[in-house]
């Protein structure tokens, strides 16, 4: 039996973003450890290269051998992008985003830059406001061996470990495999677009819900990243009379690449340390309505009225996401608040590690989550958090951190105020965090492998790469 893990959405995310977000981080960490624990020919990555192209597969160990992650290197290894190209997909997309979608100017700029990329790469970069390419080009990243995949054997296992609901080619492939009696596992990060569509644009909530409905026709096992998500999934399946199995699979606390309680991280952003010289509180994650960052801004307005200049900075590490007009408006309208809020939209792992290490504590006021990676990551660095009590979040660190109801604004302010003004209490909580038993990504990958092996007739034969 071979296991094929779909990474199509990870490739798409790498093309648009330099750093990783939560779902992508899980895929990278778990696949790296799974590949290291198994025969390299048995753990494979599958990806769709386009609507009219055949799917391709490669060995996971060839792609995820390194502890660190580099989006450009991933794309080069898979032959999706050339390291010698005039610009990356992300640079191209960022430049085009200056123009309205569907506009003539956007289309003309796209065509012009695409032509210049082949004829005059340095001119193209200059037009985009990018620095010239270095004369001494870095060594080319070796491409990994891939092969086309038309269909899987009946005993092969297809694992949809990412946002496969957004990739029609992968869904169609999974459906065909399931109809032939093959096993299909879907990792479920949350059911939030289905249960709380108000936090998303209509198109996203609709597409997710429609996929979830269709998945019951070909998915044989759902692996959920928390007990809360597993409960939601079981309720969804029960309403539809599905007999698919559901398992809870808690994620790691480990911030891979940095030892427990580390204090040595060097950020890649040269401005990061200078902008956070004053004491600060950290909030990690996409800035979107569901994450409830607006409540933190309001809490800081109140703290500024009470503590004045003794109020620490509030640092958001994450890009803008859904429905954040109110967040932006309150920042633009309050000059005093702006002086106490710092935004880092695309932090690297080194940037995040440095922020975790140097913050006073972290705050996570989300209305609903599938897990809550930043809460565990802060614990990995021995940092205390004040956390929303909703959904899965109490599963991450239990009584090691303190909670508040995200609907109770006064409760949030009280929790933050105590953490800001009582350093002895923070130290007490940090002492417990530094010695607590926390999960590594290796632990998580091992459990995932065990879950995938359950109720499968493991083949004794092997098929070479």
Q: What is the pLDDT of residues 141-188, one digit of tens each?
A: 788 999 999 999 999 999 999 988 888 999 999 999 999 999 999 999
| Range name among 290-299, 320-329, 400-409 with the lowest pLDDT average | 320-329
Tell me the percentage of the chain whose pLDDT exceeds 70: 95
Measured between its terminal Cα atoms, the distance across the chain in Å is 12
Mean pLDDT value across the chain: 91
Reference 370, options 174, 214, 195, 228; nearest CA is 228
Tell me the percentage of the chain whose pLDDT exceeds 90: 75
Structure confidence at residue 74 as a pLDDT band (50, 70, 90): confident
**Structure tokens that stand for 285 in this block:** 């994650």
For the residues 125-137, what does the mean pLDDT come to? 78
Give residue 209's pLDDT: 96
pLDDT at 117 over 60: yes
335: Cβ–Cβ under 8 A, 6 or more apart, which residues? none
Q: Is pLDDT larger for residue 212 or for residue 118?
A: 212
The b/e string for 333-361 (b: 16+ C-beta within 10 A; e otherwise) is ebeebeebbbebeebbbbbbbbbbbbbbb
pLDDT at 463 over 70: no
Give residue 142's pLDDT: 84
Task: For the beta carbon of residue 150, count every other beta carbon within 10 angstroms.
Answer: 8
Q: CA 431, CA 435: separation in Å to the nearest integer? A: 7
pLDDT at 457 over 70: no
pLDDT at 91 over 70: yes
Residues 242-254 pLDDT 10s: 989 999 999 999 9
Question: Residue 302 in contact with residue 271, Cβ under 8 Å?
Answer: no
**Structure tokens that stand for 171 in this block:** 């869904």
Residues 299-314 pLDDT 10s: 999 999 999 999 999 9
Q: How far is CA 461 from CA 1, 210, 259, 297, 429, in A?
A: 7, 38, 39, 59, 52
Reference 349, options 327, 380, 390, 303; nearest CA is 380
* Topology of the domain comprising 272-438: Rossmann fold (3.40.50)
SS3 content of the chain, % helix, strand, coil (to 5): 45, 15, 40
Give residue 237's pLDDT: 97
For the residues 414-418, what does the mean pLDDT come to? 97
For the residues 327-346, what does the mean pLDDT come to? 95
Query: Helices 441-453 and 22-37: crossing angle, nearest 10°?
Result: 70
Residues 188-209 pLDDT 10s: 999 999 999 999 999 999 999 9
Report if pTM > 0.95.
no
Structure confidence at residue 135 as a pLDDT band (50, 70, 90): low
Structure confidence at residue 295 as a pLDDT band (50, 70, 90): very high
Q: CA 367, CA 192: separation in Å to the nearest integer? A: 10
In angstroms, what is the C-alpha Rg of the chain? 23
Question: Residue 225 in contact with residue 247, Cβ under 8 Å?
Answer: no
Structure confidence at residue 34 as a pLDDT band (50, 70, 90): very high
Give residue 461's pLDDT: 34
Q: How far is CA 14 from CA 80, 90, 175, 237, 379, in A?
A: 10, 8, 26, 32, 27
The 3-state DSSP class for residue 141 equals: coil
Structure confidence at residue 456 as a pLDDT band (50, 70, 90): very low
- What residue ranges of the chain are covered by domains with CATH 3.40.50.2000? 272-438
pLDDT at 462 over 50: no
Q: CA 318, CA 339: separation in Å to the nearest integer? A: 18
Structure confidence at residue 217 as a pLDDT band (50, 70, 90): very high
34: Cα within 13 Å, side-chain hemisphere: 29
Size (the chain), residues:
465
Give residue 139's pLDDT: 58
Give residue 138's pLDDT: 52
Question: Residue 116 in contact with residue 124, Cβ under 8 Å?
Answer: yes
The 3-state DSSP class for residue 45 equals: strand
Give residue 342's pLDDT: 97
pLDDT at 459 over 70: no
Give residue 69's pLDDT: 81
Q: CA 273, CA 351: separation in Å to the nearest integer? A: 9
Which numeric CATH code is attached to 3-81+142-252+443-453?
A: 3.40.50
């Amino acid at each position: 039996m071979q296991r094929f893990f779909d990474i199509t959405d990870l490739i798409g995310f790498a093309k648009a973003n330099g750093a990783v977000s939560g779902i992508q981080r899980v895929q990278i960490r778990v696949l790296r450890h799974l590949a290291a624990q198994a025969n390299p020919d048995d753990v494979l990555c599958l990806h769709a290269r386009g609507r009219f192209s055949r799917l391709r597969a490669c060995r996971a160990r060839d792609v995820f051998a390194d502890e660190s992650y580099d989006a450009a290197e991933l794309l080069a290894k898979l032959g999706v992008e050339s390291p010698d190209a005039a610009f990356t997909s992300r640079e191209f997309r960022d430049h085009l985003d200056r123009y309205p979608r569907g506009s003539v100017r956007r289309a003309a700029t796209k065509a012009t830059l695409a032509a210049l990329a082949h004829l005059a790469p340095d001119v193209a970069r200059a037009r985009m406001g990018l620095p010239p390419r270095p004369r001494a080009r870095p060594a080319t990243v070796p491409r990994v061996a891939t092969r086309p995949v038309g269909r899987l054997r009946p005993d092969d296992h297809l694992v949809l470990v990412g946002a496969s609901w957004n990739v029609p080619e992968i869904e169609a492939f999974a459906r065909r495999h399931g109809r032939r009696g093959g096993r299909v596992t879907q990792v479920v990060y949350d059911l939030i677009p289905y249960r709380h569509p108000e936090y998303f644009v209509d198109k996203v909530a609709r597409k997710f819900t429609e996929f979830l409905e269709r998945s019951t026709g070909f998915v044989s096992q759902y692996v959920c990243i928390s007990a809360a998500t597993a409960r939601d999934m079981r309720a969804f399946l029960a309403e539809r009379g599905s007999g698919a199995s559901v398992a809870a699979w808690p994620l790691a606390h480990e911030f891979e690449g940095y030892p427990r309680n580390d204090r040595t991280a060097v950020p890649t952003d040269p401005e990061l340390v200078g902008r956070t010289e004053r004491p600060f509180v950290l909030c990690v994650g996409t800035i979107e309505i569901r994450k409830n960052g607006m409540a933190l801004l309001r809490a800081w307005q109140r703290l500024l009225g009470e503590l004045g200049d003794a109020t620490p900075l509030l640092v958001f590490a994450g890009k803008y996401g859904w429905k954040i007009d109110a967040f932006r408006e309150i920042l633009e309208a309050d000059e005093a608040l702006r002086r106490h809020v710092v935004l880092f939209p695309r932090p690297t792992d080194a940037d995040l590690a440095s922020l975790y290490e140097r913050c006073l504590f972290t705050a996570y006021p989300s209305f609903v989550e599938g897990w809550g990676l930043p809460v565990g990551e802060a614990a990995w660095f021995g940092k205390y958090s004040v956390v929303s009590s909703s959904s899965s979040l109490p599963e991450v660190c239990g009584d090691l951190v303190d909670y508040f109801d995200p609907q109770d604004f006064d409760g949030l302010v009280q929790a933050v105020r105590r953490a800001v003004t009582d350093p002895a209490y923070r130290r007490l909580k940090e002492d417990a965090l530094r010695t607590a038993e926390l999960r590594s990504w290796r632990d998580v990958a091992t459990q995932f492998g065990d879950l995938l092996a359950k109720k499968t007739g493991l083949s004794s034969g092997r098929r070479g790469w």
